[in-house]
Structure 1
Amino acid sequence: MSDSGTLEEAYERLHRTGPEFDGWLSNHGPMAVEAMVRHGYDRDVHRWLDGYVARLDELPRGASPVGGGEWREALGDARRLGDWLAFFDGELRERPWRDVLETWWPRLLPGIAAGATHGVIRTGHAVHALLGFEDETRLAELGQALGYWAARWQPVAAAGPPSGTADPGRALDGVPRVPDQSKGINHRLDQLAEVAGWGPAVAALRPAADAEQARARLAELADAATLRYLTHAHGNPVMLVHAATAPTAVLRTLPALPQDLWAGSLDAAWAAGAAVTAAYAPAEPVARQDLPAGAGPAEEVFELAVRHGDEHVIKLADTALDVHRRTGDPDALAAVARAATLISPFAS
């Protein structure tokens, strides 16, 4: 992570804005700038933000503080967004951030679908930044991320723990699609409990025997979702990015968590990835021979994403480079080129 101070400057600009805009769209700014700085694109951050911040809403104010005894009732109440932001701001001023995360991670994890998984994704980026360097601005970003997750807390329907024998790639292939794909993510997720085969599909993943195996399986899940994006992205090129970036966010958070939380983290990340896949996967993949030529070398892929400018392409590139380092599979890089083709560029 660069020590130029650019990330802190970017966070300070973004912390004057809310976690959502235009009703319920997620503010991707903190996630994108963290990735840009970490990959050495400090010089592009403020230019990108100049265009992006103009789209955002003001930071919401709290009205009724979240008390220590009522947090369960306040989870998932989007009207309390300002209250939750204030709550975690206070928590992180009074307690070490790892203690706050250890307390709240298992409380928030069952609601991993929050904000179309953006609650956990923003948290993963914030933790990744803090693991590199701790300061007040990065702590404030973690508070914003956790507050957003708490306010939009949303479980994945009927998702029991894995108990099967399938690896992540085969398990994703077995996820059934929701029947009505005409509306937004909440409408699609609401159908899951009634989808024939949803429960068995979630159970099909091979469970982890210990913490290290949970970490390895999380990496395999991020790998499988990223590689799958290449041939399935046309189902919804924006939303299917999250099938890869959500497990990546969880994976990056593990070093800050006790190992006894790792297996449950895998289970939740798998449920989230499977839910996004069920909600947005196309009826049929694109045949490999119908795809354009792949991306350039790894060192050019993140530059491609920054030039393109869309926050989803930037976040997918961030994940895809991890996948390519682990697997050596060029399809991880090609997935970024595919996203840049299907998603409209952001004119900053």
Structure 2
Amino acid sequence: MGPSIQIAANTQTGASSGICRHPRASARLRPLIAEVGQRSGEFPDFLANHLPMVLEALGRLGATPERLEAYARHYTLAHAVPFPPPAIASLTDQTWRLALGQRERETDLRDYFADVVSHIGGSQAIRDHLPALLPGVAASATHGLMRLAYAVMRRDETEIGIALGYWAATYLAFPPTADAPTVTDPVEQMLSMQAEPSLRNITVSSTLLWKWIEAAGRIPAFQRHLGQLVPADDLLVRIRQASLALYAGTMSFEALHALTGSHWVRLVSPHLDRPQTLATHFWEVVLSLYTKIGMPDLPSAEMLDAWRALPVPPDEAIASAAVASDDEHDHSLVFSALEEYRHTGDPLYRVVAARRVGLID
């Protein structure tokens, strides 16, 4: 596929969904998230704790209170999710940046951001502090961004503070670059990586996604792509379309995070003065994950349109299948896909959601 190909459908916003919350779920959901949210953002060994976020997703997909509670118990026990480490020392406006990327400072950073949010509110805390965190959006394989996005969606001030602390403690940035951006097409940028032989031979001893991201960032051929994307006003739209095409074509674990992450970027962006900066840093993480799935071509426009025309079960059936699953990535993908369908009207989101939970081939 050439880089200039059109990968987006002609869509309109405001697509409807027939999914309804269980009438008793909302009252149980917030205290349950508050309870599980006291645990660490990661569990052994350095895996992201999805529970506060996927409980919200399950609730919005129609889960009963009983299902929410059962899943919370299952997840916490199955993954031995710990509480954060003991506090080391208080942080201030002048010192918190010194703790970036230090997982042992998770409690200190959570306490710092809880105090900030209590004084100026969650939205202002994001606006003031996220510019320093944006280069490290790969934190815990972008799950710091996920936690913040869900906290924003729920208007949960406590979770906003926790999410900022989690992002800061697991901060992971690529090497800085002083080059001026010149690339306007994120798809063109991604496909141009196929010509780099060194990007096809990355070896990482860990199975952790963020370890792959970290390793890719050390490769000179990859570093040449950093800081190159022009932060245009329509960048998130183009990244969203490219991420959807990449996931539809591969249905891979890595591309799943590109699709869901585009949703998270959309949720957080209204709280930033320069949201395009978040989009550019996020796309660089997607580029690093692109190497992990072998840097495939994207599906043709004709193939994407053929998939869009496939018959798909109702949203309620897709949501029900996700709720029945114990895989947090089923919950995350289906919820984000249906939300992005409602936002964009692109039926391909419904197709990939149904495929993810096995309702269509």
TM-score by length of 1: 0.80
Q: Offset of 1:202 from its aligned partner? A: 4.9
Moved more, 120-129 or 154-163: 154-163
Secondary structure (helix, strand or coil) at the match of 2:26 reads coil
CA deviation string 1:295-319 (max 9, x = no partner): 5233432222222231111111122
Q: Check conservation: 2:134, 2:281, Cα contact below 8 A.
A: yes
- Counterparts of 2:44 and 2:134, CA distance in 1: 26
- Counterparts of 2:262 and 2:45, CA distance in 1: 26
Secondary structure (helix, strand or coil) at the match of 1:102 reads helix
Name the Cα RMSD after superposition.
3.0
1:146 corresponds to which of 164, 179, 182: 164
2:209 corresponds to which of 166, 171, 185: 185
Return closer, same or farther for 1:121/1:195 CA change in 2, 3 Å cut-off: same
Q: How does 1:260-279 map to 2 (within 5 A)?
A: 260-278=273-291
1:12 counterpart residue number: 34
Q: Offset of 1:106 from its aligned partner? A: 0.6
- Counterparts of 1:294 and 1:175, CA distance in 2: 35
Q: Check conservation: 1:108, 1:153, Cα contact below 8 A.
A: yes
Structure 1: give runs of 5+ residues left out of the alignment.
131-137, 342-348
- Counterparts of 1:129 and 1:161, CA distance in 2: 37
The percent of aligned pairs where both chains have the same amino acid is 25
CA deviation string 1:32-54 (max 9, x = no partner): 11222234435332222121122
2:106 counterpart residue number: 81
Q: Check conservation: 1:115, 1:149, Cα contact below 8 A.
A: yes
Q: How does 1:250-261 map to 2 (within 5 A)?
A: 250-257=265-272, 260-261=273-274
1:243 counterpart residue number: 258
1:101 counterpart residue number: 126
Residue 37 (structure 1) aligned with residue 59 (structure 2): yes
- Counterparts of 2:266 and 2:110, CA distance in 1: 24
If asked which structure has higher relative contact order (CA below 8 Å, sep 6+), I would say 2
Secondary structure (helix, strand or coil) at the match of 1:103 reads helix
Secondary structure (helix, strand or coil) at the match of 2:250 reads helix
1:163 counterpart residue number: 182
Q: Offset of 1:118 from its aligned partner? A: 0.7
- Counterparts of 1:192 and 1:90, CA distance in 2: 35
- Counterparts of 2:311 and 2:136, CA distance in 1: 36
2:294 corresponds to which of 282, 288, 299: 282
Q: Check conservation: 2:62, 2:319, Cα contact below 8 A.
A: no
Return closer, same or farther for 1:285/1:42 CA change in 2, 3 Å cut-off: farther
Structure 2: give runs of 5+ residues left out of the alignment.
1-19
- Counterparts of 2:93 and 2:220, CA distance in 1: 40
Supply the AA of the counterpart residue of 1:6: R
- Counterparts of 2:318 and 2:180, CA distance in 1: 35
